[in-house]
């Protein structure tokens, strides 16, 4: 009932070691949305990419699985742009909790 | 421009729903299962009144008697002038029912979650929420200072993975799940969740709002049904469903549990439950225990409705429980079906995103022990009629999509 099959696809297709976080995120966006997207640090995830709140949550979970991190809800609430997301992922990967 | 202009998108949705008249006014409630809506006698099939105790003569008598003797309200907090003998008796009764050392009663179930979640964990702790948690759980998580991490709905593996990521980090971990989830009527895989809890040294809280009086040998809920009560550190619940009144509670064996009374703001800074509510709740709790046939009738009715709708070709939730959710292909069809059902004499809950998981549109029903088999048959006939009119049955199912 709550399957999100595209997420499995995401985990398999992107190779974390060779790409920057922005490239990874771009690939994951494309797979979740099903079409190519052009993103910059200033891209607004909801406004520019047309994701609803549930889409954002599922997308965030895909990112979390990909990097083996958990993004706390208060951090997610602060994420508006792709740049914010990259910043949060970098922080959490470097072990900086906030 | 007004100060509320920032909510303009929601205002448009609200106005559209209001045009459809989806916020029903029940002119008069006639019984646990019937009301007058738009002047018509209507079967109430979405009230969470699981044991049908709202019109129980003994509960009413106790409420009336307590109101006559002690007044309509307490006009104060449990910390001040609102701490009556009844509140203490109710706490003793709830603790005894769950076989726990301690119980605390709140003025609503919402406040119970708000209060308990915001005080059990704080800054430096980790709160692990099932993604489909009730709004009161999310709001309670925001009121405290804990780091909040959500895991995939009903996925012990995802929960485990996220707890593992926290290895080495200081602070307590509290896992929060619900006995029965309110939208789809599915239960938590509590045995597996409890195993994760044991392995990771986390605490476990179960919200039995929709499962108290519904699941388990004696009606204590999912923890009892799954045989893992010893692993559950805190149970939160409400009086506003199976006990037919209003109020919330938390039970635990934690020896210092009562410290919550000093630090739990949603408990301290609100008026306590009125004497009439306390009295009817106490009586309803006695009925819940003394009349197991209520639960048997409830489960019989749940099967009757769930199986009947499924046989017709409606897409229902994953488990037979008193909450029976019917998936609709889209918002427009959901609203139309809901209106047709109401016009034909069946009231149920229209559930549309963002209140529903995975953006699915639902007709959410909840059966009561008080429904008669004839009422359920009537409901099924009306569903069949509406389903045929809207092309939602059997052969049309593929068109309707596989949302549930």
| Confidence band for B354, pLDDT divided at 50, 70 and 90 | confident
pLDDT at A97: 52
Closest by Cβ to B148, choosing from A2, A68, A72:
A72
- To test the contact with chain A by mutation, choose from B9, B358, B360, B401 the residue with the greatest count of A C-beta atoms within 10 A, namely B358
**Token pair of B76 as six digits:** 């104060």
The residue written with tokens 């202009």 in the block is: B5
The reply to whether residue B148 touches residue A2, judged by beta carbons under 8 angstroms, is: no
Chain B: residue nearest A67 by CA? Answer: B165
pLDDT at B399: 45
pLDDT at A55: 78
Decide: B48 and B42 in contact? Cβ < 8 Å: no
**Token pair of B166 as six digits:** 């926290």
Decide: A45 and A80 in contact? Cβ < 8 Å: yes
Q: What angle do CA B153, B156, B157 make, to 5 degrees?
A: 105
Q: Over the stretch B24-83, which tens digit does the pLDDT of each residue have?
A: 899 999 999 999 999 999 999 999 999 999 999 999 999 999 999 999 999 999 999 999
| Confidence band for A8, pLDDT divided at 50, 70 and 90 | very low
Decide: B119 and B264 in contact? Cβ < 8 Å: yes
* Average pLDDT over every residue of B322-329: 96
| Confidence band for B148, pLDDT divided at 50, 70 and 90 | very high
Separation between Cα atoms, residue B249 and residue B264, nearest integer Å:
13
- The set of residues, in sequence order, having a beta carbon less than 8 Å from that of B394 and lying 6+ positions away, is B312, B313
pLDDT at B363: 96
| Confidence band for B263, pLDDT divided at 50, 70 and 90 | very high
Q: Is B205 helix (H, G, I), strand (E, B) or coil?
A: strand
The catalytic site residues of B sit at 182, 210, 241
- To test the contact with chain B by mutation, choose from A2, A59, A74, A88 the residue with the greatest count of B C-beta atoms within 10 A, namely A2
Residue, of A61 and A15, whose pLDDT is higher: A61
Does residue B356 belong to the interface with chain A, where contact is any CB pair within 8 Å?
no
* Assembly ipTM: 0.78
Shortest alpha-carbon distance between residue B14 and chain A (Å): 18
| Confidence band for A6, pLDDT divided at 50, 70 and 90 | very low
The percent of residues above 70 in pLDDT, for chain B, comes to 97
Decide: B124 and B170 in contact? Cβ < 8 Å: yes
Residue, of A90 and B224, whose pLDDT is higher: B224
With 0-12 / 13-18 / 19 or more C-beta atoms within 10 angstroms meaning exposed / middle / buried, residue A27 is middle
Shortest alpha-carbon distance between residue A33 and chain B (Å): 15
Residue, of B352 and B297, whose pLDDT is higher: B297
* Average pLDDT over every residue of B175-183: 97
Q: Is B136 helix (H, G, I), strand (E, B) or coil?
A: helix
Mean pLDDT score of chain B, rounded to an integer?
95
Q: Is the pLDDT of residue A77 over 90?
A: no
In angstroms, what CA-CA distances link B221 with B111, B217, B224, B228, B238? 20, 8, 6, 11, 12
* Average pLDDT over every residue of B109-115: 98
The reply to whether residue A54 touches residue B153, judged by beta carbons under 8 angstroms, is: no
Shortest alpha-carbon distance between residue B22 and chain A (Å): 23
DSSP 8-state code for residue B364: E
- The set of residues, in sequence order, having a beta carbon less than 8 Å from that of B89 and lying 6+ positions away, is B278, B282
Does residue B64 belong to the interface with chain A, where contact is any CB pair within 8 Å?
no
In angstroms, what CA-CA distances link B163 with A6, A68, A90, B73, B388? 24, 11, 20, 45, 48
| Confidence band for A58, pLDDT divided at 50, 70 and 90 | confident
Taking alpha carbons only, the member of B303, B341, B326 closest to residue B393 is: B326
Q: Is the pLDDT of residue A1 over 50?
A: no
Intra-chain end-to-end CA distance of chain B, in Å: 41
The residue written with tokens 């009932």 in the block is: A1
The reply to whether residue A68 touches residue B165, judged by beta carbons under 8 angstroms, is: yes
| Confidence band for B107, pLDDT divided at 50, 70 and 90 | very high
């Amino acid at each position: 009932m709550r399957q999100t099959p595209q997420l499995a696809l995401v985990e398999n297709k992107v190779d974390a070691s060779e790409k920057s976080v922005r490239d990874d995120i771009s690939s994951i966006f494309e797979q979740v949305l099903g079409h190519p997207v052009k993103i910059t640090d200033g891209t607004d995830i909801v406004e520019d990419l047309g994701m609803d709140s549930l889409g954002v949550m599922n997308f965030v979970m895909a990112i979390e699985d990909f990097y083996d991190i958990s993004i706390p809800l208060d951090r997610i609430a602060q994420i508006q742009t792709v740049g914010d997301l990259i910043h949060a992922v970098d922080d959490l990967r470097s072990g900086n909790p906030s | 421009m007004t100060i509320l202009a920032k909510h303009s998108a929601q205002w448009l949705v609200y106005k559209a729903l209001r045009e459809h008249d989806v916020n029903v006014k029940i002119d008069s409630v006639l019984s646990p299962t019937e009301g007058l809506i738009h002047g018509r006698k209507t079967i109430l099939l979405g009230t969470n009144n699981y044991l049908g105790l709202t019109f129980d003569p003994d509960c009413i008598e106790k409420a009336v008697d307590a109101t006559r003797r002690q007044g309509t309200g307490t006009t104060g907090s449990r910390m001040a002038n609102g701490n009556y003998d009844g509140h203490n008796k109710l706490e003793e009764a709830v603790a005894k029912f769950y076989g726990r050392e301690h119980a605390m009663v709140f003025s609503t179930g919402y406040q119970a979650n708000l209060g308990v979640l915001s005080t059990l964990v704080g800054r430096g702790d980790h709160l692990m929420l099932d993604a489909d948690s009730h709004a009161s759980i999310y709001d309670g998580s925001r009121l405290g200072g804990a780091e909040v991490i959500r895991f995939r709905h009903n996925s012990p593996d995802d929960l485990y993975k996220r707890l593992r990521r926290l290895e080495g980090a200081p602070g307590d971990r509290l896992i929060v799940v619900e006995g029965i989830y309110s939208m789809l009527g599915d239960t938590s895989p509590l045995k597996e969740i409890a195993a994760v809890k044991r392995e990771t040294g986390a605490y476990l809280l179960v919200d039995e709002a929709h499962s108290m009086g519904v699941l388990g040998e004696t009606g204590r809920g999912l923890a009892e049904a799954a045989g893992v009560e010893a692993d559950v550190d805190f149970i939160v619940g409400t009086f506003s469903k199976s006990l037919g009144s209003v109020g919330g509670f938390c039970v635990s064996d934690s020896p210092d549990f009562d410290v919550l009374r000093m630090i739990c703001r949603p408990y301290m800074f609100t008026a306590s439950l009125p004497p009439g509510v306390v009295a009817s709740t106490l009586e309803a709790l006695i009925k819940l225990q003394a009349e197991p046939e209520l639960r048997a009738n409830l489960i019989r009715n749940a099967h009757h409705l769930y199986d009947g709708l499924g046989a017709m070709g409606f897409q229902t939730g994953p488990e037979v429980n008193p909450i029976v959710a019917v998936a609709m292909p889209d918002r427009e069809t959901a609203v139309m079906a809901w209106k047709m059902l109401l016009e034909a004499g069946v009231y149920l809950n229209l559930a549309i995103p963002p209140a529903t998981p995975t953006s699915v549109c639902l007709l959410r029903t909840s059966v009561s022990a008080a429904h008669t088999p004839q009422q359920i048959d009537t409901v099924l006939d009306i569903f069949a009629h509406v389903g045929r009119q809207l092309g939602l049955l059997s052969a049309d199912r593929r068109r309707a999509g596989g949302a549930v």
